[in-house]
């Protein structure tokens, strides 16, 4: 039961949107107080994972609480390049540690706030994916944010409602690589401009309009380009079957089943979709042809819209969010907002070996 880890980087703010008695209080104390208030509404997040007699995962809602760590750094965020990659601060110094005497696999939520000398700060989260998905985690963080800014309560009342989710058919993803023999994949973060995205959207939409088809999204453009670029750079044999897996937000499909139409539901409500094609077909197709593969018709989720980029604890939204991956041998591609909310997107990838990164990067940026 993996703990999803991320760093949320907040620049110093001259004007703070905090009311009440918290005007002179620093970010760590402000967030800690708001966290305690938010957990009254989201009390399962203060529990621990356990197993029922039937072997199902459940939450023991005792009084264990959330592990909160306060830290300070003697440098400014500018000194460490605002945690751009490669990070100049080890991630373990910015993430909350596992408390002594606790089983990591039982933990639900850990939070650390690190204050920097410039007045900026970094919030490090470790969140159990067994309890909440991305939209659910962002909903909770947003609740902490509005309470930190002085709200009297949460604007969205949380809904547990896990029994309303039907058991999905088993997702067919394929076996994971053996860590002992797997190749290390190289990290790469690439900022993609809005002009780049619009170039391919306009090209595809013109063809789709002529054929009476549907238009495409920025998500479809970026994933199609990344899939083709990775397939070409990796040098697979032409008859190798390559797969594309992505999470589909199932909330729009289950709103009739969920309490209050899904408003406030913060549990897992997604399904892993998989598309397969011969490597030769993906590598040899144009980007618009890859977009028109079968996955175009599925309900995909744009993860830039989860809500992490809008969370405000009183110092404004984060300059950027850094998702962290801990498995160097599983190919991943994460789409996030670019630095300081610029137009476009940022692709954080770990999908090719070091000797193939240059080819992947070059293929990703070309406009063909």
Are both 150 and 39 inside the same structural domain?
A: yes
With residue 283 as reference, give the H or E element that holds it.
helix 279-284
Q: What is the DSSP letter of 334?
A: E
Using CA atoms, how far apart are residues 144 and 155, in angstroms rounded to an integer? 11
Are both 140 and 195 inside the same structural domain?
A: no
For residue range 239-296, list pLDDT tens digits in order. 988 888 888 888 888 888 888 888 899 999 888 878 888 889 889 988 877 765 543 2
Mean pLDDT of 152-159: 96
Are both 149 and 191 inside the same structural domain?
A: no
339 contacts: CB under 8 Å, gap ≥ 6:
82, 84, 191, 319, 320, 346
In a domain, 175, yes or no: no
Are both 141 and 266 inside the same structural domain?
A: no
User: 342 or 124, which is more confident?
Assistant: 124
In a domain, 168, yes or no: no
With residue 114 as reference, give the H or E element that holds it.
strand 109-115
The pLDDT value given to residue 169 = 60
Token pair 């650390």 is at which residue? 112
Report CA torsion sign: 347, 351, 353, 355: negative
Are both 359 and 216 inside the same structural domain?
A: yes
For residue range 48-105, list pLDDT tens digits in order. 999 888 888 999 998 899 999 999 999 999 999 999 988 999 999 999 999 999 999 9
Are both 149 and 17 inside the same structural domain?
A: yes
Are both 141 and 286 inside the same structural domain?
A: no
With residue 362 as reference, give the H or E element that holds it.
helix 357-365
In a domain, 335, yes or no: yes
- At 236, is the pLDDT very low, low, confident or very high (cuts 50, 70, 90)? confident
Concatenated DSSP letters of 130-198? TT--HHHHHHHHHHHHHHHTT-SS-SS--B--GGGSPPPPPP---PPPPTTTPPPPEEEEEEE-HHHHH
Q: Which of 138, 158, 178 is the last residue of a domain?
A: 158
Distance, first Cα to last Cα, the chain: 41
Are both 280 and 343 inside the same structural domain?
A: yes
Q: Which of 113, 139, 158 is the last residue of a domain?
A: 158
Mean pLDDT, all residues of the chain:
87
Please compute, for residue 229, the number of CA atoms within 13 A of its CA located in the half-sphere on the CB side: 25
Give me the percent of the chain exceeding a pLDDT of 70.
89
Q: Which of 158, 175, 204 is the last residue of a domain?
A: 158
Asked whether the predicted pLDDT for residue 308 surpasses 80, the reply is: yes
Mean pLDDT of 107-134: 97
Q: Is the Cβ–Cβ distance between 31 and 141 less than 8 Å? A: no
The number of distinct structural domains making up the chain is 2
Active site residues: 129, 312
Asked whether the predicted pLDDT for residue 311 surpasses 60, the reply is: yes
Give me the percent of the chain exceeding a pLDDT of 90.
55
Are both 77 and 190 inside the same structural domain?
A: no
Are both 149 and 195 inside the same structural domain?
A: no
The pLDDT value given to residue 294 = 45
Are both 110 and 71 inside the same structural domain?
A: yes
Using CA atoms, how far apart are residues 131 and 59, in angstroms rounded to an integer? 8
Q: Which domain holds residue 255?
A: 186-304+325-365
Nearest alpha carbon to residue 96 among 69, 122, 74, 77? 69
In a domain, 223, yes or no: yes
Q: Is the Cβ–Cβ distance between 249 and 299 less than 8 Å? A: yes
Sheet of 109-115: strands edge to edge?
Answer: 67-72, 109-115, 121-128, 3-10, 320-324
Are both 103 and 25 inside the same structural domain?
A: yes
Token pair 């589909």 is at which residue? 248
264 contacts: CB under 8 Å, gap ≥ 6:
139, 156, 157, 158, 159
Kindly report whether the peptide bond that precedes residue 86 is cis, defined as omega within 30 degrees of 0: yes
Which of 72-86, 185-199, 207-221 has the weakest average pLDDT? 207-221
In a domain, 30, yes or no: yes
- At 24, is the pLDDT very low, low, confident or very high (cuts 50, 70, 90)? low
The pLDDT value given to residue 209 = 72
Q: Is the Cβ–Cβ distance between 118 and 78 less than 8 Å? A: yes
In a domain, 316, yes or no: no
* Token duo for residue 214: 């549907």
**CATH code assigned at 240:** 3.30.559.10
User: 337 or 293, which is more confident?
Assistant: 337
Asked whether the predicted pLDDT for residue 17 surpasses 60, the reply is: no
Q: How many helices (H) and strands (E) does the chain have?
A: 8, 12
In a domain, 295, yes or no: yes
Asked whether the predicted pLDDT for residue 299 surpasses 50, the reply is: no
Asked whether the predicted pLDDT for residue 205 surpasses 90, the reply is: no
Nearest alpha carbon to residue 321 among 84, 94, 146? 84
Asked whether the predicted pLDDT for residue 229 surpasses 70, the reply is: yes
In a domain, 119, yes or no: yes
Asked whether the predicted pLDDT for residue 301 surpasses 50, the reply is: no
Whether pTM > 0.85 for this model: the answer is yes
């Amino acid at each position: 039961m993996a703990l999803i880890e991320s760093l949320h980087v907040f620049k110093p703010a001259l004007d703070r949107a905090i009311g009440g008695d918290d005007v002179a209080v620093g970010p760590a104390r402000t967030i800690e107080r708001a966290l305690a208030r938010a957990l009254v509404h989201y009390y399962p997040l203060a529990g621990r994972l356990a197993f029922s007699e039937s072997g199902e995962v459940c939450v023991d809602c005792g009084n264990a609480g959330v592990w909160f760590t306060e830290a300070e750094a003697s440098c400014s965020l500018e000194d460490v390049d605002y945690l751009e990659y490669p990070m100049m601060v080890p991630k373990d110094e910015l993430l909350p540690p596992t408390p002594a005497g606790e089983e990591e696999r039982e933990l639900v939520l850990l939070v650390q706030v690190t204050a920097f000398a410039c007045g900026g700060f970094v919030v490090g989260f470790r969140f159990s994916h067994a309890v909440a998905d991305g939209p659910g985690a962002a909903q909770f963080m947003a609740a902490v944010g509005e309470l930190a800014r002085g709200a009297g309560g949460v604007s969205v009342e949380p809904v547990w409602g896990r029994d309303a989710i039907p058991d999905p058919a088993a997702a067919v993803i394929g076996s994971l690589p053996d860590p002992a023999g797997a190749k290390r994949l190289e990290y790469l973060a690439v900022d993609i401009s809005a002009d780049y995205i619009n170039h391919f959207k306009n090209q595809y939409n013109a063809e789709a309009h002529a054929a009476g088809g549907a238009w495409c999204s920025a998500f479809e453009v970026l994933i199609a380009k990344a899939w083709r670029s990775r397939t070409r750079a990796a040098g697979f044999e032409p008859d190798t079957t390559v797969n594309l897996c992505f999470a589909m937000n199932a909330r729009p499909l289950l709103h009739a089943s969920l309490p209050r139409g899904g408003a406030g539901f913060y549990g897992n409500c997604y399904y892993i979709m998989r598309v397969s094609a011969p490597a030769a077909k993906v590598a040899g197709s144009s980007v618009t042809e890859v977009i028109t593969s079968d996955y175009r018709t599925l309900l995909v989720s744009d993860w830039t819209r989860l809500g992490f980029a809008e969370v405000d604890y009183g110092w404004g939204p984060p300059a950027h969010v850094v998702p962290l991956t801990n498995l160097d041998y599983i190919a991943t591609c994460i789409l996030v907002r670019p630095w300081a909310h610029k137009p476009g997107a940022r692709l954080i990838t770990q999908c090719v070996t070091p000797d193939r990164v240059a080819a992947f990067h070059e293929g990703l940026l070309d406009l063909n």
